[in-house]
Amino acid sequence: MTRPPDAASGTEWWRTAVIYQVYPRSFADGDGDGVGDLAGLLRRLPYIASLGVDGIWLTPFQPSPQVDQGYDVSDYCGVDPLFGTLAQFDDLLATAHTLGLRVILDVVPNHCSSEHPFFRTAVAAAPGSPERAMFHIEDGPGGALEGDPPNNWRSVFGGSAWSRIAPDSETDRQWYLHLFSPGQPDWNWRNPAVGEYFEGVLRFWFDRGVDGLRIDVAHALFKAEGLPDADRPEDVVDGLRSNPQVSDQEEVHAVYRRWRRLADSYSPARVLVGEVNLAPHRAARYTRPDEMHQAFAFTFATVGWDPAAWARIGTELDTARREHGAPPTWALENHDLVRTVTRFDDGGGRGVVRARAGLLALLGLPGGAYIYQGQEVDLPEVDVPAEARADPMWTRSGVSRDGARVPLPWTIAPAGSFGFSPTDDAVPWLPIPPGWGSMSVEARERDAASTLHLVRAALDLRRSLHEEGVLSPHDGGMWRAEDNGLLVCERSELFLVAVAMGDAPVRLPEGRIILASSALTTEGLLPPDAAAWVCRA
């Protein structure tokens, strides 16, 4: 196999792409140290290809002190020895392409690691120096040695967003900004040298042949001029959304216009996907035709099993699509969110069947979609023992994202690593719960009715429906929530997705049911907590 054909139109493969998100430290461990790595991933690539996805998105594996599991980057153009070598990455990329998979990497431009050479140089340099101007390094009010930081901003991970740059100094009274942990100083994007530096980073990976980049916290690079106090400082955690001072500044769009031109200058053109955690009408401005290609539909990922909420958000996203031309990019899970099996369970034990229905629905919607590793085997959120938690958010604010980051179980036995590591005595970096052999890839492969097989069937069908012209990259989404709890998204006159979100079985709109997440009732109704694809062609 070579690179996958463009299922959709021309070179715009991303418009309909389904991407599998790999969290490298939890995917597959090749060297037996209990942490997933590139060697493990390389060995398991055929599995990912077997799902029928168009590509993978890899969260950061670049050199990093791992304060925020790699989102604190100390060298943007390398591979952390924990995960392997650059030569292994090149091998991985080549193999992925041979298997027909595109590869998207994470780039983290809002902040780096406090171990990044530029930040270390800034710490050593004098206040007011060009080295310090690469970051937001400021005096406190009145320039006092003690006392308050420069403004009232809070870190997303808890506590002040400012730390003293030289806590032990008797003379250096400056503070540096970190929207996340103190190990992640924010770059000063008002300094053109920062933009130049990142264009070099983009070129480095594009030149190596990566197909696209996912841009971390893409809306926050620029802060309001002068760094004024936030209106609602306690709300910074809420995706940096509610304080206009902290993110979503107009200036950031010029960055994505430049990056788009750079991405377009390659053949084939590279793709940009943004983590833009804003309301749909604001997020859509990042995917105007000359900016990024995709931005995750985040509001969708945070709602529960609620047809009215899905219909409202779906409609908002479709309005944005009509306004700006960019199709929605669906994701129900990622490494920061509570797993859907747990999120959709309102105590009645329906989490698995709902998560499966949600995933099938997602794969039928217009636009692109992301599947997070483990979603295809129904992994739930894990209550990781407090002493094992590694998320910096846990230590700073008591909220832990570790429960969605537990390593993937590959084999039914032996308990402990369940095939995640190559040796039985390896200890996974987060403990895998004892019963997880039954949710391993091996167990799901053996069960013809598993979500794993459903995902394969859905992606296979999706591809042929595109080839036959039943599905089009230009489909819209007419959403409605009916009184009986039925959620409907009509892509076109030819195809619709329906989800039974109420308590009783429901009759589907007219058409041929070509795939469903649960068997229909004997009366031909869709049972509660099931999704179906209905074709009228």
Q: Decide if 317 contacts 326 (C-beta within 8 A).
A: no
Phi, psi of 333 (to 5 degrees): -140, 155
Minimum distance, C-beta of residue 335 to ligand GLC, in the bound complex (Å): 6
Minimum distance, C-beta of residue 402 to ligand GLC, in the bound complex (Å): 11
Residue 180 or 436: the one with the smaller Cβ distance to ligand GLC is 180
115 binds ligand GLC per the rule CB under 6 A = no
- The count of other CB atoms within 10 Å of the CB of residue 536 is 14
Minimum distance, C-beta of residue 167 to ligand GLC, in the bound complex (Å): 23
Q: Which of 29, 68, 216, 318 is catalytic?
A: 216
Of positions 131, 336, 442, 482, contacts ligand GLC by CB under 6 A: 336
Tell me how far apart the alpha carbons of residues 199 and 189 are, in angstroms, rounded to a whole number. 13
Residue 89 or 296: the one with the smaller Cβ distance to ligand GLC is 296
176 binds ligand GLC per the rule CB under 6 A = no
Phi, psi of 150 (to 5 degrees): -60, -35
The single-letter code of the amino acid at 27 is F
Total residues in contact with ligand GLC, by rule CB under 6 A:
9
Phi, psi of 61 (to 5 degrees): -125, 10
Residue 49 or 108: the one with the smaller Cβ distance to ligand GLC is 108
Q: Which residue is nearest to ligand GLC (CB)?
A: 71
108 binds ligand GLC per the rule CB under 6 A = yes
Cis previous bond, 414, omega within 30: yes
Minimum distance, C-beta of residue 71 to ligand GLC, in the bound complex (Å): 3
Minimum distance, C-beta of residue 38 to ligand GLC, in the bound complex (Å): 19
Q: Decide if 492 contacts 516 (C-beta within 8 A).
A: no
Q: Closest Cα to residue 408, out of 390, 432, 385, 426?
A: 432
Residue 317 or 404: the one with the smaller Cβ distance to ligand GLC is 404
Residue 181 or 518: the one with the smaller Cβ distance to ligand GLC is 181
Fill in the per-residue mask, 203 to 232: x = in contact with ligand GLC (CB under 6 A), - = not in contact. Answer: -------------xx---------------
162 binds ligand GLC per the rule CB under 6 A = no
Angstrom CA distances, 407 to 182, 349, 415, stand at 27, 23, 13
Minimum distance, C-beta of residue 532 to ligand GLC, in the bound complex (Å): 32
430 binds ligand GLC per the rule CB under 6 A = no
Minimum distance, C-beta of residue 260 to ligand GLC, in the bound complex (Å): 21
331 binds ligand GLC per the rule CB under 6 A = no
Minimum distance, C-beta of residue 216 to ligand GLC, in the bound complex (Å): 5
Written as six digits, the tokens of 216 are 């971390």
Tell me how far apart the alpha carbons of residues 199 and 206 are, in angstroms, rounded to a whole number. 10
68 binds ligand GLC per the rule CB under 6 A = yes
Residue 108 or 353: the one with the smaller Cβ distance to ligand GLC is 108
- List, in sequence order, every residue forming a beta bridge with 230; answer none if it has no partner: none
- The count of other CB atoms within 10 Å of the CB of residue 195 is 17
Which residues, in sequence order, are CB contacts of 320 under 8 Å at separation 6+? 280, 281, 283, 284, 326, 328
| 391 tagged catalytic | no
Q: Closest Cα to residue 28, out of 459, 446, 441, 450?
A: 441
The single-letter code of the amino acid at 102 is R
Q: Which of 31, 186, 275, 529 is catalytic?
A: 275
Q: Which positions from 363 through 422 interact with ligand GLC, judged by CB under 6 A?
A: none
Written as six digits, the tokens of 261 are 């031109």
Q: Residue 480, SS3? A: strand
Cis previous bond, 268, omega within 30: yes
Written as six digits, the tokens of 346 are 């309102």
Q: Which positions from 254 through 283 interact with ligand GLC, judged by CB under 6 A?
A: 275
Q: Decide if 253 contacts 285 (C-beta within 8 A).
A: yes
| 275 tagged catalytic | yes
Residue 217 or 430: the one with the smaller Cβ distance to ligand GLC is 217
Residue 71 or 256: the one with the smaller Cβ distance to ligand GLC is 71
Rg (CA), the chain: 23
180 binds ligand GLC per the rule CB under 6 A = yes
Q: Which positions from 468 through 527 interact with ligand GLC, judged by CB under 6 A?
A: none
Q: Closest Cα to residue 278, out of 311, 313, 310?
A: 313
Minimum distance, C-beta of residue 157 to ligand GLC, in the bound complex (Å): 8
Residue 119 or 180: the one with the smaller Cβ distance to ligand GLC is 180
Q: Are β-strands 486-490 and 495-500 bridged in parallel, bridged antiparallel, or unpaired?
A: antiparallel
Q: Are β-strands 137-139 and 174-177 bridged in parallel, bridged antiparallel, or unpaired?
A: antiparallel
71 binds ligand GLC per the rule CB under 6 A = yes
End-to-end C-alpha distance for the chain, whole angstroms: 30
Minimum distance, C-beta of residue 106 to ligand GLC, in the bound complex (Å): 8
Which residue in this structure is represented by tokens 């791992």?
Answer: 66
List active site positions: 216, 275
* Site residues, ligand GLC (CB under 6 A): 68, 71, 108, 180, 216-217, 275, 335-336
